[in-house]
Amino acid sequence: MNTILYPLLGTLFTFLMTTLGSALVFFFKDEIKDFYQQLFLGFAAGIMIAASVWSLLIPSMEMAEANGQNSALILGGGFIIGALFLLFLDHVIPHQHLNEDKPEGPKSMLGKNTMLVLAVTLHNIPEGFAVGLTFAIAASNSSITFASALALALGIGLQNLPEGAAISLPLKQEGMSRTKAFVYGSLSGIVEPIAGVIAGFTIHIMQTILPICLSFAAGAMMYVVVEELIPEAQLGKHSHVGTFGVLSGFVIMMLMDVFLG
């Protein structure tokens, strides 16, 4: 039971942070300036890079070695499969990024606002799975501590806060009411508790696949970072702002995992 409850609670926290970020639409009249958007995107990228290494890949390697598995194969194979899975979702789910004029994925009758939300929702799938999986493992054995799982949830939650605002404020600029923009921004994060609970059920399938599940989550997160977050953080005249965001996010997540984990 705990392997479902704890992942749910952990991902509900990250969902709450997305909701709080979306609520900023009630307090700001204009969309986020490019300076802050680059900083937030870079910060999110840094958080996810550090989380992929300290909270996912290193525990994956340790668990694989403890199980007598080939850690190189587990890390490399799971990582690549995770990235390919996000690539697959990129091609089958219609979505549109904030700074692009044309949608991606298959042709769809969905409106621009809906596809903007779907683009952020894609980011949240691997995040929810990663947080849920670490809490589930912490609840079932000592391979990952609750402190380490909490550090990952805090890190993902920190980057979800500006991410929620980054979707609700532009939606308002597109003509939505504040309330509707808030709801859309909040709903972009609802997939995290869903993915977290799915990760919790993974524990009950087979313990031996947990290392590859961790590396899978890392690969999916890194796909988002390299494909979308870092390129978008480098747009505009002052790309060093995005770079500073990546570095600061990486350091904060790394220190949280080291001291809490």
The per-residue pLDDT for range 132-184, each reduced to its tens digit, is 989 988 888 666 788 888 889 998 998 888 888 878 888 888 788 899 999 98
pLDDT at 131: 93
CA distances from 145 to 2, 59, 150, 156 (A): 14, 10, 9, 17
In a domain, 105, yes or no: no
Name the one residue in this structure whose structure tokens are 């900083």. Answer: 39
In a domain, 238, yes or no: yes
User: What b/e string do you get for 175-208 counting C-beta neighbours within 10 Å, with b at 16 or more?
Assistant: ebebeebbbbbbbbbbbbbbbbbbbbebbeeeee
In a domain, 80, yes or no: yes
pLDDT at 3: 84
How many domains would you assign to the chain? 1
In a domain, 154, yes or no: yes
In a domain, 197, yes or no: yes
Determine the distance from the C-alpha atom of residue 17 to the mean position of all C-alpha atoms in its chain, rounded to a whole number: 12
In a domain, 202, yes or no: yes
pTM: 0.86
CA distances from 77 to 7, 39, 134, 141, 199 (A): 25, 32, 19, 24, 19
What residue spans of 23-111 are helical by DSSP H?
34-50, 58-66, 71-92
**What six digits make up the tokens of 166?**
């980054």
Residues of the chain short of pLDDT 50, as ranges, are none
Q: Give burial (CB, 10 Å; 0-12/13-18/19+) of 237.
A: exposed
In a domain, 106, yes or no: no
In a domain, 42, yes or no: yes
The domain of 208 spans 1-100+111-260
pLDDT at 170: 80
pLDDT digits (tens, 9 = 90+) for 85-103: 999 988 888 777 666 667 7
DSSP state of 101: S
